[in-house]
Amino acid sequence: MVFVFFVKDSKIETYQKMWRFMENRPSVFVSDYEEGIKRVLEGNYAFLMESTILDYSVQRDCNLTQVGGLLDSKGYGIATPMGERF
């Protein structure tokens, strides 16, 4: 997962602490967003995820909520074939 690389290699102390906590507890990791959301809904689990998918998920399930702000900000790019009018 991208988040693992983000916190694992971060120079920010808060993220370094998060990584030290997580790396010693393999049970906190999930294989995909669906598993993370399922664990949140089952209780006693917080899941950090990319904001676009988080917004989408929270809008579709009233049992989910976002807490806090963004950890990081990224942009998106869209590639199209040469000469296409988009």
Q: Which domain holds residue 7?
A: 1-28
Per-residue pLDDT at 65:
95
Q: How many domains does the chain have?
A: 2
- Residues 46 and 60 grouped into a single domain: yes
Whether 86 is in a domain gets the answer no
Q: Smallest Cα–Cα separation from 48: which of 60, 31, 66?
A: 66
- Residues 41 and 24 grouped into a single domain: no
Whether 52 is in a domain gets the answer yes
What parts of the chain have a pLDDT lower than 70?
1-6
Per-residue pLDDT at 2:
52
- Residues 41 and 58 grouped into a single domain: yes
Residue 66 tokens, joined: 């976002």
pTM recorded for the entire structure:
0.71
